[in-house]
Amino acid sequence: MQNELNIVGIQADLSWENPSENRAFFEKQINSLSENTDLVVLPEMFTTGFTMNPEKVAEKMNGETISWMQKMASKKQVAITGSLVIEDDNTYYNRLVFVHPSGNIETYDKRHSFTLAGEDKVYNSGDKILIVNYKGWRICPLICYDLRFPVWARNTENYDLLIFMANWPVIRIKAWETLLKARAIENMSYTIGINRTGKDANNYEYSGNSLVIDYLGEELSTLPKNEVGILKATLVKSDQKKIREKLGFLNDKDFFKIDFI
């Protein structure tokens, strides 16, 4: 088990529906990272922006972006995670991909489609939580709108780190910051939220406001709004364990079953 986990989030102004340009940007950022980085978190739909045109940009699981993620993870010996538009069995998904340094892949399909934008009309929803075991840490990665649904994110799996990647517009950015801290506090979990900046083709503005938060809701790292850049933090598992044992809040959690209609 690795007691300390060095994480990086990359806050970017995404190029609309332009995977090659976005990959080039992220490659430059990842190449600049120090050798002690363990995990890199990218935004939601990091190759395209939050598009409702999957037929134009969808890739396969053996496509160029997945191969690129594997190449970068191996080269830098880091884990890399982000979501992108995937076509699988003639169906489109907003799919989170977690690539280990070995090249092994784990995936999570966004559970809560953003109906306000019609995401439910063009993408299939997932129905399974993913818990990634990485360097002795249990990691639960989720996507954007999932943040609004605390039951789905509830720490019944004894995870250590909760990840949210997003295209969360500036008009609702207060909710983004507030809910990230709420999820961290109620689950006594380190939480990282990586959001994009800039303006997309639909004229929605994004300010970033990416955060790393500890298990008590304290900010460990942040970036100024609208800034393109890298967010860094070192998470310490023994500190989290000590506070969890001292306070015992997770011992009193409710247990429940989620039914899918």
Residues classed as catalytic: 44, 110, 144
User: Which residues, at least 6 apart from 144, have a Cβ–Cβ distance to it below 8 Å?
Assistant: 44, 110, 114, 164, 165, 166, 167, 168
CB contact at 8 A, 233 and 37:
no
Give phi and psi for 3, each to the nearest 5: -70, -35
Question: Which residue in 210, 162, 165, 212 sits closest to 189, CA to CA?
Answer: 162
